[in-house]
Structure 1
Amino acid sequence: MGQLVPIGVAAKELGVHPDTLRRWEVEGRIEAPERTAGGRRRYDLAKLHHLAPRTSISARSTIAYARVSSNGQKDDLVRQVALLESFCATNGWAYEVISDVGSGLNYHKRGLKALVSRICSGEVGRLVLSHKDRLLRFGSELVFSLCEHFGVEVIIINASEDSTFEEDLANDVIEIVTVFSARLYGSRSDENKQVMERLQEVAKELSP
């Protein structure tokens, strides 16, 4: 029998979240761990070695990702980047910042595509975000699943700052209106422009 360690130590060694080890246990991907008298899991690192990524998290890149929806929010982008840089530097990580200006509904942003490509190539060990929705408005869980699969640690600095349902709804409406207004404004239809301007006004009124 190899070294027995707590779930947190085993998860860190593999570069995954502790919940991932629990799920692998339920799925039968790993053997059920030993248990202490108090019922706490103890993992045999020797039996988990084959699940470890080819390189440790510390040997791979730390990527900090920032995004805003429009050019009018460039100041917010600067603040996001400053927060990410300060957080990474405080933790002593060598890091790179990838930033995008575009809707959270747009899956084709250059920075996002580069980020996903690098995650899938196995060169990213840690992804740092200021908020979950900076990655995508919808579908961020898909990227997080990729991170889990490739052993990427995800850190959300302000994960505890949960928004209310009303705030989420208002933000979603604003994102949708922004996307469609950009498309309709190019049609040269004065009627379309008037409709989208009114929708934007309503969206702003909904915003807390």
Structure 2
Amino acid sequence: MDKVYSISEFAERVNVSMSTLRRWDASGEFPAKKRPSGHRYYDESDVRKLLNLTPEEMRKVIVYCRVSSHSQKDDLAFQIESMEAYCLSAGIAVDEWVKEIGGGMNFKRKKFLALMDAIVAGEVKRLIIAHKDRLVRFGFDFIQHLADRHGCEIEVVNQESLSPQEEMTEDLLAIVHTFSCRLYGMRKYRKDTE
């Protein structure tokens, strides 16, 4: 069932003023639905219609799997296998599998950006990932907010409950690892600069 919005909630959701919505309703340009009590409301189908989003039945369920480097191809294969087993056991019909090799702190990954574009376009109903860090190493809460705003549910299969200290330690290690890889990669340019 589609989510139901009051006029104020709908105005915020589609970034239009309440007076514009009332004017559209009165003119018949974009009428609101009415309850038996006379209260007006909108639902998620109205969001899709107003924002020219994909109809609900055409929206995809996508599984996203990622590893950081080519040396981890075996890990990627295991991740895909695990996600297949999870989706089969949960009875989830998957429309698309996205497999990518690239660092979790790199926001310029081609498949990641294509996935974000699809979410913003309203083409993704559900995104399934093994761990939060498989999607992004930092900024997951922002990605979650973006997905929520565009009607996409992000399902994290393996929820880890780390203490704040453990989480910070993992984040710091990821930062150190990323920058040490960059420094190592810059060694080949040393001869050019000398």
**CA gap 1:56/1:174 in 2 versus in 1, 3 angstroms:** same
Partner residue in 1 for 2:80: 81
**CA gap 1:77/1:96 in 2 versus in 1, 3 angstroms:** same
What code does the residue aligned with 1:99 have? K
In structure 2, list runs of 5 or more residues that go unmatched. 11-34, 189-194
Partner residue in 1 for 2:158: 158
1:13 aligns with 2:2: yes
Q: Aligned to 2:9, what secondary structure does the other structure show?
A: coil
Contact 2:62 2:94 in 1 (8 A): no
In structure 1, list runs of 5 or more residues that go unmatched. 1-11, 15-20, 31-43, 190-208
RMSD: 3.0
Kindly state the Cα deviation for residue 185 of structure 1 after the two structures are TM-superposed.
1.6
Q: Aligned to 2:138, what secondary structure does the other structure show?
A: coil
Q: Aligned to 2:41, what secondary structure does the other structure show?
A: helix
Output the TM-score relative to the length of structure 1.
0.62
Partner residue in 2 for 1:18: none
**CA gap 1:157/1:57 in 2 versus in 1, 3 angstroms:** farther
Contact 2:100 2:111 in 1 (8 A): yes
Q: Aligned to 2:65, what secondary structure does the other structure show?
A: strand
Match runs of 1:2-151 below 5 Å: 12-14=1-3, 28-29=8-9, 47-49=41-43, 51-54=46-49, 55=54, 57-89=56-88, 90-151=90-151
Q: C-alpha separation between the residues in 2 aligned to 1:101 and 1:170?
A: 24
What code does the residue aligned with 1:48 have? Y
Q: % of aligned pairs identical?
A: 34
Contact 2:63 2:94 in 1 (8 A): no
Q: Aligned to 1:53, what secondary structure does the other structure show?
A: helix
After superposition, what is the alpha-carbon deviation per residue over 1:147-205, rounded to whole angstroms, capped at 9, x for unaligned? Answer: 1121112211123x31233432332233212221222123339xxxxxxxxxxxxxxxx
Q: C-alpha separation between the residues in 2 aligned to 1:121 and 1:132?
A: 22
Output the TM-score relative to the length of structure 2.
0.66
What code does the residue aligned with 2:80 have? V
Q: C-alpha separation between the residues in 2 aligned to 1:105 and 1:88?
A: 27
Q: Aligned to 1:66, what secondary structure does the other structure show?
A: strand
After superposition, what is the alpha-carbon deviation per residue over 1:15-55, rounded to whole angstroms, capped at 9, x for unaligned? Answer: xxxxxx7xx77x9426xxxxxxxxxxxxx697233644345
Contact 1:88 1:95 in 2 (8 A): no
